[in-house]
Structures are given as C-alpha cells and as structure tokens.
Amino acid sequence: MKSKELGDYLKTNAKPSGDFIPIFLPSAYHAIEVLVHFFSQKKHEWMAFCFFDDILHCHAIWLEKGQDVNGVNPSISYVDAIKFSQLNDFKYILMSHNHTVTSDDVSYFKSYGVNIKSSSDIKRQQFLRFSEGDEFYSKLFMERCEQEGIGFASSVIVSNEYLVKGNQKIRKNIRDNKPIHRKFGNISVKPKISLSPQPYSIRKLKFKTEDRVFKSIEYKGYIGHYGLSNWWNNSFTFEEQKYIALHFNKSHNEDPYGTDNIKNKRIDNLSNCLLTEE
C-alpha cells in the first residue's frame, strides 16, 4: 500500500480519545511519511506515538486528537508507553505531532495565490519548529525512556515537511530510507525498502501484564453454552472476571451472596456465577 493509502487507513481507525492501531511499517521513515498523510489538512493538533522493534519495524501507533489547534494533552503517559513497549519487546518510540497552518497564517501577503506559492518556505521557517512545551515534554519522555533502555525521538510535521530530534538510530534510519528526491505525494526515487501490501502487523500486541488465572478450564453457564471458554480465559484478568461476574449477577437479580452482603463482599471465586455455572 502507498503512504497515502496507509494515511487514510489511520484516519479511518483513529479515535479522537486515543487508541492503539496495529500496523506494519518497515522503517521510521515510512512511519513519518504515513503520518504526513494522516496529518494532512487536519484542523486540530494530533499526537502520535510509533512503536518499533529492535530493527526499527513499526508495529503499532497510538493516535489522539487535541482539543484545538494549539496542542494535545495525551491520555497515554510515558509510564503507559514504556510499559506497552516492554510488554511487546519494542526498543524505540517516535513521538510526533502536527502544527496546523492555514492561509490566515500568511495573510500579510498581497494575494491568496502568493500565499500558496510562498507557503512552503513560510511553513519551514515559522512553523516547522518545537514549541517550549514540546521541548519540555519531549525531554521528560526521553529521560524516562533512556532509563529503561528505550530509544526515543520526537518530530513535528507541518504539511509535507518534518523535523526530527532525539535518538540517533531513529534519525539515521529515517535518513537511510528517505528517497533522494522526496516530494509530497510523488516519490521519484524509491526508498531502500518498500511498504507491505497490507497494513496489518503480524505481531499480536499485548496490553496487560497480569497473568491469566484460568488457562484451560471449560466453563458451564452462558460462557460454556456459547463456546466462549477460551475467550473468557485469555481476554480478562481474574480481577476483571470478578468485576464482570459481580455486575452480571446484580443485573439479573441473581446475587449469590444476598443483597445485604453484596456491597461489602467481593467475589473470591466464580463458582456461583450465572456466566460460568449452570
């Protein structure tokens, strides 16, 4: 798939509130190039976190929308990003955000046509930079990542231009795979490695550190009746199973402990749950 198609793939799957999107991109350059297309014509600032393995293959991107054109306060913290990297054996993180530019930003030119003609230079000089807040947040993120042995770089993207700071290996990977003549939507010299036909990563991403309590139990109840034992075993932690069981019983007025005790007693096992027992 082309970078534009992958950018559209991200647009289709991105959630304003923030979420991970599984994707496979063969280099940090390809990740930047796809984000260029994703950020294209965005009226709000967005934040992206790209996660790479030890040879800088990207397997996941977190995308989140800001409240306006002035910034993003991502709900994913550096603690979350590092934990996610460690769970999936990712070695590098590239943080990226866009700066929005409209014709109003260059309105001191005499005509709209001149704005368009001169916009590339204006964007490069005035908007392709990190703000003070960007610098502070990136420094904090980098310090925490380096403590955990994770390479970190940050980038700002304005239209088809980008600026990258941080980890040398990430920056070198971008330079090595960038075509000699790169134009927006028109790559005249192909990079060393090409995009895959499909955007999906072959890796199964992990999001939780807790061990599953039940590994091979075949349940009765609704879970067993509908053949969902494996899903129940592998999709939820024991704490999550207890929470679901508790509220499922309450919603069906089948509290095994009685209404007087339910507020003060936790479900320590699932033996009396309608989900897992007849």
**Which pTM was predicted?**
0.66
**Domains of the chain listed by start with CATH number:** 3-187 (3.40.140.10), 210-278 (no CATH)
Q: Which residues pair with 114 in a beta bridge?
A: none
Q: How far is CA 238 from CA 34, 38, 119, 216, 244, in A?
A: 39, 38, 56, 14, 10
Any idea what DSSP says for residue 179?
Answer: -
pLDDT of residue 61: 95
Angle between helices 168-177 and 28-39 (to 10 degrees): 80
pLDDT at 269: 45
What residues contact 27, with CB distance under 8 A and at least 6 apart?
A: 56, 57, 58, 173, 174, 176, 177, 191, 193
Per-residue model confidence (pLDDT) at position 93: 97
Burial class (CB in 10 A: 0-12, 13-18, 19+), 64: buried
CB 130 within 8 A of CB 165: yes
Contact 110, 93 (CB under 8 A): no
Residue-level pLDDT, tens digit, the chain, 278 residues: 688 889 999 999 999 989 899 999 999 999 999 999 999 878 888 999 999 999 999 999 999 998 876 777 888 888 889 999 999 999 999 999 988 865 555 544 444 444 444 455 655 566 778 888 888 889 999 999 999 999 999 999 987 789 999 999 999 999 999 886 555 444 445 556 666 666 666 677 887 644 444 445 777 788 888 888 878 777 776 667 777 877 777 666 544 444 444 433 334 444 457 777 75
